[in-house]
Amino acid sequence: MFELGVKVAFSLAQIGVVFGIVLLTVMFLTLAERKVIAWMQDRMGPMEVGPYGILQPIADGLKLFFKEDIVPAGANRFLFSLAPILALVPALIGFAVIPFGPNLTVELFGIQFKPFVISDVNIGILYILAFTSIGAYGIILGGWASNSKYSLLGGLRAAAQVISYELNVGLAIVGVLLLAGSLSLVKITEAQAGGFWHWYIFAFPFPQIFAFVVYVISAVAETNRVPFDLPEAESELVAGFFTEYSGMRFAFFFIAEYANMILVSCIAAALFLGGWNAPYPGTLIGHLGFPHFAWIEQVVWFAAKVYCFLFLFFWLRATLPRLRYDQLMRFGWKVMLPIALGNILVTSIAAYLFPKS
């Protein structure tokens, strides 16, 4: 009984910490995005709230929180309220299997814990793919339940887009899974230890660089970010599927989008860029003689990779125009899909010829 209590308490604490970090990152991601894009566009971005606008996300959050909650006439109330939750929950729940740091085991009251991953399930990546698919329902239902033509068009676009690009995400990952021989994110990351030439993006016997590119593009599309932000294309569909949303419901969609960005960045870091592994063998702190504190460096490496990836999202947004619906579909099915399939074929042959020792 005591054992169970400790387990639950520890898990809850872990969930709380991860949840807090993710939401904090989301908050400051909105600020970072505005700042980074502002600098690229020769302006200053938010400057009023706090020094250099640092407290802007808090002001935004408060504003959204106190906004009137409007349900449009003729909307399906139940689904209209359900949709933001359906979008947000899968985006957050995926973080349960992300390894933020090394696969250490800590013993507390005679029970073993892994501090850097909430739950090391052996089908981690499958779990994430399954849940992010549910997120698409949030968008589609939100678009449909609003009783607005713009929302409906946005929802329809989102449905088509998320489905076709999720396929590419799945197929791009398969190459890595073939090389790693596991679906657990912890195991996959562990297999990439020992320097950047072991990362799957560069690794022998077949570098997954093509898969990585396909994954990055599809991930951008799946999170509905520029240049694939058609479901919410501002200049065409006003705000797409969340045109009719306001206040906290709108904030939920917003948080879901940014949480999804972080999630796909985490997956990219874990699968292709070696996760918590430094680009050189071992860790600097470990080499200096403090192996007990090596995890600090490793967590920093993981965070650095994720943030680089997030910066890429901003960079794309500042650079690229939006694709058109038909171009997006053509690109997904006629360009990305064959590349992903070809990558699987070549990787399987390579993996067969050079089996892991």
DSSP 200-217: TTT-SSS--HHHHHHHHH
Shorter beta-carbon distance to other proteins: residue 134 or 318: 318
Task: Kindly state the smallest distance separating residue 139's Cβ from other proteins, in Å.
Answer: 17
Query: Is the CB of 27 or the CB of 318 nearer to other proteins?
Result: 318
Q: Which token pair is 57?
A: 């996300």
| Cα–Cα distance for residue pair 176/135, rounded to 1 Å | 24
Distance CA(175)–CA(344), nearest Å, equals 5
79 forms part of the interface with other proteins (CB under 8 A): no
- For position 353 contacting other proteins by CB under 8 A, the verdict is no
Q: Is 227 in the site for other proteins (CB under 8 A)?
A: yes
Min CB(156)–other proteins separation in Å? 8
What backbone torsions phi and psi does residue 148 show, to the nearest 5 degrees?
-140, 140
Cβ(220)–Cβ(43) below 8 Å? no
Query: In the complex, what is the shortest distance from the CB of residue 181 to other proteins, in angstroms, rounded to a whole number?
Result: 38
Per-residue tokens: 215: 């994954």
Nearest 10 degrees: Cα torsion 28, 29, 35, 38: -150
* Touching other proteins, residues 232-271 (CB under 8 A): 233-238
Total residues in contact with other proteins, by rule CB under 8 A:
32
Please tell me whether residue 326 binds other proteins under the rule CB under 8 A: yes
Judged by CB under 8 A, does residue 42 bind other proteins?
Answer: yes
CB of 302 to other proteins, least distance (A): 30
CB 325, min distance to other proteins, A: 6
Secondary structure (3-state) at 323: coil
- Residue 163 engages other proteins in binding (rule: CB under 8 A): no
- Tell the smallest beta-carbon distance from residue 195 to other proteins (Å): 35
Closest CA to 213 of 342, 46, 26, 21: 342
CB-based burial of residue 280 (10 Å sphere; 0-12 exposed, 13-18 middle, 19+ buried)?
Answer: exposed
The single residue listed with the structure tokens 């904030």 is: 251
Binding site for other proteins (CB under 8 A): 37, 40-43, 73-74, 147, 149-150, 153, 226-227, 229-230, 233-238, 317-327
